[in-house]
Structure 1
Amino acid sequence: MRTTTRRPLAGVLVLGTALLALSACGSSDDGDKDDSAAGRPAASAPVSASPSGSKAPARNEAAKEAKPSGPVESDDKLKPATGSFTKKEKEYLSGRVPKNMDPAAVLQTGQEACDRLKLTASHDKDAAVGALIAGEIPDAVAAVGRLCPEQQPLLDRARQGFTEGTKKNPSPGTYRALTADASTCTWQALGAGGKSLASGPPQGTKPEKVTVDIPAGTEKFVSQGCYAWLPA
């Protein structure tokens, strides 16, 4: 579990609460390790770029399809207690069911991912895309690919973004933060030798939304309190 403190979109929080009441129900861009949130600069100050400052990896969990690391059930044993699986359900389950586990339970996880993504997107597409980037919808990549392919445009959009943290060699351009509380979002673009190319927001300001122009030559884009980023 990440130790990075995030502020998910309001829509995700509200919808997540509703979904939990209905059911009992996440690859790195640069390979940095998670560090403690302790010692981070205040929200009104530029992000620290010093070696002793906090660094959280900028990831895009929407690019990852998680599968069991141990032995899995063979396809011929993927049968429900009653009835049968559809072709798409069998394709989803193939290579995903750990030994001695009920395949119906694994399928339920995928179905819940589709349901949550659909419900979130119906209220706020940015919330759905942000949740995909952050990996907050378990098994979403495989579920979209096999169980709810109509949600593929959301997944494609999410793969263009990255989470808050340290993003190495970002493509220059305009990005916007998918955060419900823009006043907590701080960022800094660093060039060769750690030179600060740009940072924000100005101290004392409380923006309603955060849009950033990452300049060419940025080697690291460091942010916190911004949840996730998407090209504008």
Structure 2
Amino acid sequence: MYRRTAAAAVLLAAALTLTACGSGGDDKAAAPASSDKASAASPKPPAASPVPDPADAPAPSGAAVAPDAKPSGPVLPDAKLTPKTGSFKENEKKYLSGRVPEKMDPAAVLQTGQETCQRVERTAKRDKDAAAASIASGEITGAKDAIENLCPEQKPVLAMAQKGFGDSPAAAPAPGTYRAVTQNPACAWEAKGKDGNVLASGPETPAKPGDRITATVPAGTTEFRSTSCYAWLPA
């Protein structure tokens, strides 16, 4: 009797041990599944923010103003238009007159005008029409004052640009024939009169790549509009 009871106890203990082992193994197997589920349910951390575009950054307080801009606030009187070292030439002083904000270095403003001249000169060296078109279209700003005072040798380019205009609406252009400084077949234009009626438009026939595109502005035109033509110069 005692042997049977002892044997039964041994068997019961063994069974309990196996049950405990099986239970522990199931917990371990289930753990990764639970972890995966939690990971799937939790939102992933946001990606690192991209590096901001330098063009979006605010201009430093000492940055030069645009070469064609006129300060709205107080400006340096002509008597104080002096660089930190040396002196300005008379033509440089003339360019700077009324253009330098009170707390800005005149040399920084002068530099913008010099850079405008450099852009015109580099472009004109390759193609004078392209240089004039860059001014007429507004791509190169501040050219009038810069050329007249700092690089007068470019006055012929300026004179050509002043007779032309860009894609933006031109008010009351001089009557005549103009050529587009582009060979884009998508170039289209129209000339409107005082009452808004269309006096002329083009191209009259679809342009092909490489074609010279012209527009005839009739007398009485009060507004000339174009798209994809870049700029117009007298033909």
Please tell me the TM-score bracket, short chain as reference: 0.5 to 0.7
SS in 1 for 2:119: helix
Counterpart position of 1:121 = 124
Question: Which has a greater percent of helix?
Answer: 2
Q: TM (normalized to structure 1)?
A: 0.65
Counterpart position of 2:234 = 231
Deviation for aligned residue 1:118: 0.8
Deviation for aligned residue 1:91: 1.6
Residue 176 to residue 146, structure 1, CA distance change in 2 (3 Å): same
Q: Distance in 1 between matches of 2:87 and 2:230?
A: 41
Counterpart position of 1:105 = 108
Q: How many residues align?
A: 171
Counterpart position of 2:200 = 198
Residue 217 to residue 143, structure 1, CA distance change in 2 (3 Å): closer
Q: TM (normalized to structure 2)?
A: 0.64
SS in 2 for 1:165: coil
Report 1:140-159 matches (<5 A): 140-159=143-162
Runs of 5+ in structure 1 lacking a partner? 1-23, 26-63
SS in 1 for 2:134: helix
SS in 1 for 2:146: helix
Higher Cα Rg, which structure: 2
- The question of whether the paired residues in 2 share the 8 Å contact of 1:109 and 1:138 is answered with no
Q: Distance in 1 between matches of 2:143 and 2:107?
A: 17
**What root-mean-square deviation, in Å, do the aligned CA atoms of Structure 1 and Structure 2 show?**
2.6
- The question of whether the paired residues in 1 share the 8 Å contact of 2:185 and 2:206 is answered with no
Instruction: Report the residue type matching 2:96 in the other structure.
Output: L
- Select between 69-78 and 113-122 the one with higher mean Cα deviation: 69-78
- The question of whether the paired residues in 2 share the 8 Å contact of 1:182 and 1:209 is answered with no
Counterpart position of 2:180 = 177
Q: Distance in 1 between matches of 2:203 and 2:144?
A: 34
SS in 2 for 1:113: helix
Deviation for aligned residue 1:195: 4.0
The answer to whether residue 101 in structure 2 is matched with residue 136 in structure 1 is no
Residue 196 to residue 135, structure 1, CA distance change in 2 (3 Å): closer
Instruction: Report the residue type matching 2:200 in the other structure.
Output: A
The higher-RCO structure (CA 8 Å, 6+ apart) is: 1
Runs of 5+ in structure 2 lacking a partner? 1-62
Counterpart position of 2:96 = 93
SS in 2 for 1:127: helix
Q: Distance in 1 between matches of 2:123 and 2:69?
A: 22
Residue 220 to residue 141, structure 1, CA distance change in 2 (3 Å): closer
